[in-house]
Structure 1
Amino acid sequence: MKRQQGGSRFNIKLDARGMGDSLTPQVIQNALAEYVSFPGNTVGAAGAAPAGDAPGVPGLAVRPADNGSDPAQSLKKGMSREQVETQYGLAVEAHDRTENGMSMTSCTYKSKDEKVQADFVNGVLVQYSVSSR
């Protein structure tokens, strides 16, 4: 229960002793670039504003779908269900369950060419698979 209320965290494994003076904030930002957008970050989403509530607050880095590209390429763990549904529309199937005290939802999205099976924990994408139809 405490873990659910404690917020999110990332465990970054590095050899801090071996890195010495080369362990900088930029090293940490680079390690998190796939998941977090930092203000002025050139590693994260190009031109994306921070997703936090206030300017300069880091948030989830979500790259917008490129109109000419495959939307499945822009799916990322950590996205909200709303962000996934922005790309795929409403789920054609959704099943709720509770596992270890966590609210889990399995959703199926279908497009013309593919089927996406997505699992959300408390509304956050934790696992997905894409298959052709």
Structure 2
Amino acid sequence: MACATLLALPAHAQSEAALKDYFEGKTVVVKMDMPATQEGVDVYADARRPIDFGAYSARLKSTGIALKSGESVMITRIRVKDKLIEFQLGGGGYGTFSDDTSTSVYVPSATKSTREKNLERDIKNETDSARKRRMQSDLDNLRRDRENEDRRNRAVAETASEQKKQRIAEQRLHGGSRFNIRYQNGVPAGVTPGGIMAALVEYVEFPFADKVVRPGKETAPAAVARGPASGPRKGMTWQDALDAFGQPEKTADRMEGKLKVTTATFSKDDQRIEAEFVEGVLIRYSISSR
């Protein structure tokens, strides 16, 4: 029955459930300062330049730093949407639905008293000039008192707004952050934990990633479907690379935390391709002439 229910779910729902089971509640180490906002850091998984550092810098300046480079933090939520995967850390960042992000404090204007309203009405009909002057003087005093009250209220509102601004800024620093892993053509079906770690390996250390997939072994698709390719692309698997470019001329391994990164050099026609794989998934490459 459970299998039948799972099969009935949309593909992205199945992926989300698997990713939640694998990641949520585990602790990672961030390798970069994380902005104190729910907007987090955008990582374009299938782009040659995964992060727009101009936008990243602007968010750090406007919101401050919630998580410092080298800090350990819990993965609190994974959400799979049509074109992105939210990798939420320490609460996901301040500014979500339940967070108050407005720094303004509203104080209503002082209302006219009954006495002021009556004077405004009666002064129009008063024919005695001396009495009318006294009424006007009383009305001016009432208006002046109301204007003074408005000024006091505005001063109170400005002080309260500044205090609220400082309070929100402090709350931002304790609200966590997130990575938004974006895919131009939509989140691929069957995206795996290995694919997520490959997309974030330059920015996050995964201490719990004990199982390292060696190049040459079959791996689940991480960012694109398996198939032939005319050139390298981020997200292609090790087997796709072998199918497209043949056996590499040389390989070299290094460790990124507990993830094994393999650098391979391929030759195809008059091109030399330097490619880096994490858990059998291509994360970076360069092409030069032979």
Normalising TM by the smaller chain, what interval? 0.5 to 0.7
- C-alpha distance in structure 2 between counterparts of 1:99 and 1:35, whole Å: 25
Who is 2:23 aligned against? 6
CA contact (8 A) 2:253 2:263 kept: yes
Shift of 1:34: 6.3
Of the candidates 225, 230, 247, which is equivalent to residue 61 of structure 1? 225
Residue 106, structure 1, aligned to residue 160, structure 2: no
1:36 to 176, 188, 204: 188
Q: Which residue of 1 aligns with 2:286?
A: 129
2:151 paired with 1:97: no
Decide which structure has greater helix share.
2
One-letter amino acid matched to 1:118: A
CA deviations on 1:38-85 (whole Å, 9 max, x unpaired) are 9xxxxxxxxxxxxxx8xxxx97235633xxxxx22xx22111111011
The counterpart of 1:87, out of the listed 241, 244, 248, is 244
Q: Tell me the distance in 1 between the aligned counterparts of 2:240 and 2:187.
A: 14
Determine the C-alpha separation between the residues in 2 that align with 1:82 and 1:60. 13
Deviation at 1:29, TM superposition (A): 4.7
Equivalences, count: 88
The 5-angstrom pairing of residues 18-37 of structure 1 reads 28-29=82-83, 32=183, 33=185, 36=188
RMSD: 3.4
Q: What is the identity, as a one-letter code, of the residue corresponding to 1:28?
A: D
Question: Tell me, which stretches of 5 or more residues in structure 2 are unaligned?
Answer: 1-21, 25-41, 45-80, 85-181, 191-219
Q: Greater CA radius of gyration, 1 or 2?
A: 2
Q: After the TM superposition, which parts of structure 1 deviate over 3 Å for at least 4 consecutive aligned residues?
A: 29-32, 61-65
Residue equivalent to 1:24: none
Superposed displacement of residue 112, structure 1 = 2.6
Q: CA deviation at 1:91?
A: 0.6
Answer whether contact 2:266 2:274 (CA < 8 A) is retained.
yes
Distance (whole Å) between structure 1 residues aligned to residue 82 and residue 241 of structure 2 = 27
* Identity level (%): 27
Deviation at 1:36, TM superposition (A): 2.0
Q: Give the TM-score normalised by the residue count of structure 2.
A: 0.26
| Residue 116 (structure 1) aligned with residue 133 (structure 2) | no
Query: In structure 2, how many angstroms separate the alpha carbons of the residues matched to 1:61 and 1:116?
Result: 21
